[in-house]
């Protein structure tokens, strides 16, 4: 009687052990879930002002503990606060700040159609072709300011919403 | 108990009988010295001017248009465009926007442009079955009238008609409940123009292809009810529903709940239940557009100083100060507040030279101590629960206030903040004089902004990831191409080497050929020599 009970229990334990082993193998994620959470908090402007090539690499660096949480100017203090809360770190002041809600605007009569800005845009928000006038898709622009420095004729302006509304009037 | 409480509840700013004396003639539109028409409409859209400075214009001429086809601005008078200046407007009292200033002509201010085409299909008092194509033409024609919801929200009426038609709306509700105390312009309109309103309603029905219309009217408008009823026998598809005068019955959701006995949540729209709600003033404007071919250039406005209520026709763009002056109402910006909309949830204006907009239904001048707008001075919430009893949406205002102060957005949403219709009942009964609605509005705005930001972040992320995938694909393709090229080059080289390996034999053969040729040449040369020798 005792023996059967012990056997049954051993069998159940083994069964669960096998199931657990199988599940952990089958559904293993190679990725740290914290990275996705951090990535979600970042403003996804892909501006690379933090020193990393995009928001995701920055998130990975934060998760590894390589980067500070106060390197994201477009996110502002709000993002620093959220990150600090998530990672149980102290809130630090931003390294550098940036005016938020900017949108790129191409002065179309000056544009020479060099496609340099199109290549620089991380979110494909610039539309145009070689030797054709380019234009910014306002709705998609994240205001990362990566296109302005590469323009050889300096025809890209960074506008706030009010100035943009006047331009598009 | 609740109903009686609500029923006896009346704002302190409201005189005991707030409605105008029956049948006072509506005053004809006042001709102001200047008109201010902002290039920025009630739906936060910028418009583009279609006229230039010092251009002569006619009444009903289109002077500005927007991205939406129905966002049109017509000149209310014939005259001259004086200037285009930066001026505050009803939709943005804090911010200056581009505004067209028109000076009415001295000789003939009512000289008008050829009117809109009349639409005979929809002007009958019977339901007309119209084909989709015909309806589309009709809707496009009516877009030219520039009508928008005149109850306050300012939604484009033609847009609403189109949506209602798409959603197969079966019943049109006509809102004849004033949205706030003091306001009586809808009542005044229905007393003066009952038949026109019914005709406009029929046109609306035909435009939407709905089956019936219900005019919802509050029980304190006896004359309007009588007048409407006397005409109703000619309109079998329109019925009248009398509801008790409880603030705030003028809200869309409240109206639908009167008819269906169900409460709509924040996400639900009346269309989902097969209803569409139109304001009675919109109905009248629709009548003028369909039957007289006139675009929307004037509206009825209630002007009040708390004691005296007057309904006055006003041209869109008339400066508020001229309307007040015409009624002998004094406005002193130091001691009085100028409020657009009703006293409960109207918008305080700080400039009396703003031109009235299409959705300005009421202008109230009240002493500063009678309006509760101070944010700093209120006492703390004592959680008495008075606000819970008066909330028409059955919310917990004191709880929402708590979360609004703590900026706990998720909690607020759980407590259905977005079901709040901002009627102001809670703030009115609050013994601590907390401007609750202000807090709710602020939080709603914050939440909406955050959601929009999240959405934008999501989109940006998707685009960025797609771009990365695309670049990776491109790189791989390039690499593949390089690989292929390398392979081809290798193959070519291998072939060449093979040929080289074969070449020695061919070289031999060529050498043989050369030597054969040399031998042949020698042979011929020898034979020639022999010939020459034999000749000699």
Chain segment A87-104, per-residue pLDDT in tens: 888 888 887 777 777 889
Is B460–A46 a contact, with Cβ atoms under 8 angstroms apart? yes
What is the residue range of B242's domain?
A: 118-294
ipTM of the complex: 0.78
Cα separation, B301 vs B457, whole angstroms: 44
Residues 6+ apart with CB under 8 A from B529: none
- CATH architecture, domain A103-168: 2-Layer Sandwich (3.30)
Q: Are residues B127 and B225 in the same domain?
A: yes
- The per-type count for chain A, helices as H runs and strands as E runs, is 7, 4
Instruction: Determine whether B83 is exposed, middle or buried from the number of CB atoms within 10 Å of its CB (0-12, 13-18, 19+).
Output: middle
Other residues' Cβ atoms within 10 Å of the Cβ of residue A164: 20
pLDDT of residue B403: 92
- Which among A142, A168, A169 has the least Cβ separation from residue B460? A142
* DSSP helix/strand/coil, B455: helix
Q: Which of B44, B46, B453, B463 would you mutate first to test chain A, the one with the most A CBs within 10 A?
A: B463
Cα separation, B292 vs B295, whole angstroms: 9
**B289 within a domain of the structure (yes/no):** yes
Residue segments in chain B with a per-residue pLDDT below the cut of 70? 1-27, 114-125, 152-153, 369-376, 504-510, 532-536
Partners of B409 in the β-ladder: none
Q: What is the largest CA-CA distance in chain B?
A: 158
Q: Are residues B127 and B246 in the same domain?
A: yes
| Sole residue written with tokens 């089958």 | A26
Is A44–B457 a contact, with Cβ atoms under 8 angstroms apart? yes
Taking CA atoms, what residue in B is nearest to A140? B460
Residues 6+ apart with CB under 8 A from B138: B119, B121, B122, B130, B207
Cα separation, B316 vs B60, whole angstroms: 11
Q: Are residues B128 and B225 in the same domain?
A: yes
DSSP state letters, B465-524 = HHHHHHHHHHHHHHHHHHHHHHHHHHHHHHHHHHHHHHHHHHHHHHHHHHHHHHHHHHHH
Q: Where, residue-wise, is CATH 3.30.70.20 in chain A?
A: 103-168
Q: Are residues B272 and B396 in the same domain?
A: no
Domain boundary among B294, B318, B337: B294
Q: Are residues B245 and B390 in the same domain?
A: no
Q: Are residues B149 and B286 in the same domain?
A: yes
pLDDT of residue B388: 92
CATH of the domain at B197: 3.40.50.11540
**B262 within a domain of the structure (yes/no):** yes
**B49 within a domain of the structure (yes/no):** no
Q: Are residues B125 and B252 in the same domain?
A: yes
pLDDT above 70 for A152: yes
Superfamily of domain A33-87 in the CATH hierarchy: Electron transport complex subunit B, putative Fe-S cluster (1.10.15.40)
pLDDT of residue B261: 80
**B233 within a domain of the structure (yes/no):** yes
Is B463–A124 a contact, with Cβ atoms under 8 angstroms apart? yes
Cα separation, B31 vs B529, whole angstroms: 131
**B518 within a domain of the structure (yes/no):** no
pLDDT of residue A22: 93
The domain total for chain B is 2
Ranges of beta strands (E only) in B177-229 are 212-218
Other residues' Cβ atoms within 10 Å of the Cβ of residue A118: 18
Is A140–B461 a contact, with Cβ atoms under 8 angstroms apart? no
Distance set, CA B141 to CA B64, B70, B103, B144, B204 (Å) = 17, 10, 29, 6, 14
pLDDT of residue A168: 67
Closest to B463 (Cα-Cα) out of A103, A116, A142: A142
Chain B residue numbers with beta carbons less than 8 Å from the beta carbon of A140 are: 459-460, 463
- Which among B48, B458, B467 has the least Cβ separation from residue A124? B467
Q: Where, residue-wise, is CATH 1.10.15.40 in chain A?
A: 33-87
**B173 within a domain of the structure (yes/no):** yes
Phi, psi at residue B57, to the nearest 5°? -130, 160
Is the CB of B529 inside 8 Å of chain A's CB atoms? no
Kindly report, residue by residue over B474-526, the tens digit of the pLDDT. Answer: 999 999 999 999 999 999 999 999 888 877 655 566 677 788 888 888 888 88
Q: What is the torsional sign of CA B313, B316, B322, B324?
A: positive
**B509 within a domain of the structure (yes/no):** no
Cα separation, B247 vs B344, whole angstroms: 10
């Amino acid at each position: 009687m005792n023996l059967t009970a012990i056997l049954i229990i051993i069998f159940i334990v083994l069964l669960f052990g096998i199931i657990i082993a199988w599940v952990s193998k089958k559904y293993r994620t190679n990725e740290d879930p914290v990275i996705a959470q951090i990535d979600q908090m970042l403003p996804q402007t892909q501006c690379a002002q933090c020193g990393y090539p995009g928001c995701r690499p920055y998130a990975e660096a934060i998760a590894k503990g390589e980067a500070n949480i106060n390197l994201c100017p477009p996110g502002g203090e709000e993002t620093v606060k959220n990150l600090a809360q998530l990672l149980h770190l102290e809130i630090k002041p931003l390294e550098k700040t940036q005016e938020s809600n900017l949108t790129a605007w191409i002065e179309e009569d000056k544009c020479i159609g060099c496609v340099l800005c199109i290549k620089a845009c991380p979110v494909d928000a610039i539309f145009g072709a070689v030797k054709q006038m380019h234009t910014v898709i306002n709705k998609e622009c994240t205001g990362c300011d990566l296109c302005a420095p590469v323009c050889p004729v300096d025809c890209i302006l960074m506008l706030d919403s009010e100035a943009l509304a006047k331009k598009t009037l | 108990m609740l109903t009686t409480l609500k029923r006896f509840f009346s704002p302190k700013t409201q005189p005991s009988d707030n409605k105008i004396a029956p049948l006072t003639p509506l005053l004809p539109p006042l001709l102001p010295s200047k008109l201010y028409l902002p290039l920025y409409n009630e739906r936060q859209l910028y418009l583009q001017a279609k006229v230039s400075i010092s251009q002569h214009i006619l009444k009903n001429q289109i002077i500005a248009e927007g991205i939406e086809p129905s966002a049109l601005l017509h000149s209310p008078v014939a005259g001259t465009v004086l200037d285009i200046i930066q001026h505050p407007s009803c939709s943005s009292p804090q911010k200056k926007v581009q505004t067209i200033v028109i000076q009415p002509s001295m000789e003939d201010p009512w000289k008008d442009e050829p009117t809109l085409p009349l639409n005979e299909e929809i002007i009958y008092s019977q339901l007309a079955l119209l084909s989709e194509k015909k309806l589309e033409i009709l809707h496009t024609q009516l877009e030219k009238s520039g009508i928008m919801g005149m109850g306050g929200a300012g939604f484009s009426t033609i847009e609403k008609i189109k949506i209602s038609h798409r959603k197969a709306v079966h019943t049109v509700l006509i809102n004849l409940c004033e949205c706030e105390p003091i306001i009586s312009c809808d009542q005044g309109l229905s007393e003066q123009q009952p038949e026109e309103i019914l005709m406009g309603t029929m046109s609306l029905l035909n435009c939407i292809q709905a089956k019936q219309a219900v005019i919802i009217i509050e029980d304190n408008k006896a004359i309007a009810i009588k007048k409407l009823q006397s005409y109703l026998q000619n309109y079998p598809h329109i019925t009248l529903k009398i509801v008790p005068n409880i603030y705030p019955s003028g809200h869309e959701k409240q109206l639908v709940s009167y008819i269906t006995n169900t409460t709509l949540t924040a996400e639900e729209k009346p269309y989902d239940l097969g209803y569409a709600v139109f304001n009675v003033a919109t109905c009248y404007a629709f009548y003028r557009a369909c039957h007289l071919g006139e675009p929307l250039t004037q509206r009825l406005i209630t002007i009040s100083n708390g004691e005296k209520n007057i309904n006055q026709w006003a041209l869109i763009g008339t400066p508020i100060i001229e309307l007040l002056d015409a009624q002998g109402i004094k406005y002193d910006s130091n001691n009085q507040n100028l409020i657009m909309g009703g006293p409960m949830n109207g918008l305080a204006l700080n400039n009396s030279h703003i031109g009235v907009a299409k959705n300005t239904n009421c202008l109230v001048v009240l002493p500063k101590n009678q309006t509760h707008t101070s944010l700093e001075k209120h006492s703390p919430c004592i959680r008495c629960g008075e606000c819970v009893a008066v909330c028409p949406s059955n919310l917990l205002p004191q709880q929402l206030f708590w979360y609004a102060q703590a900026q706990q957005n998720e909690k607020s949403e759980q407590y259905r903040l977005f079901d709040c219709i901002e009627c102001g009942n809670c703030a009115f009964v609050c013994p601590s004089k907390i401007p609750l609605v202000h807090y709710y509005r602020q939080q709603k705005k914050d939440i909406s902004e955050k959601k929009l930001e999240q959405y934008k972040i999501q989109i940006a992320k998707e685009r960025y990831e797609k771009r990365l995938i695309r670049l990776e694909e491109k790189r791989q393709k390039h690499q593949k191409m390089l690989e292929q090229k390398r392979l081809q080059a290798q193959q070519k080289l291998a072939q060449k080497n093979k040929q080289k390996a074969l070449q020695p034999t061919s070289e031999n053969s060529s050498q043989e050929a050369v030597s054969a040729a040399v031998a042949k040449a020698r042979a011929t040369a020898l034979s020639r020599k022999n010939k020459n020798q034999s000749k000699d």
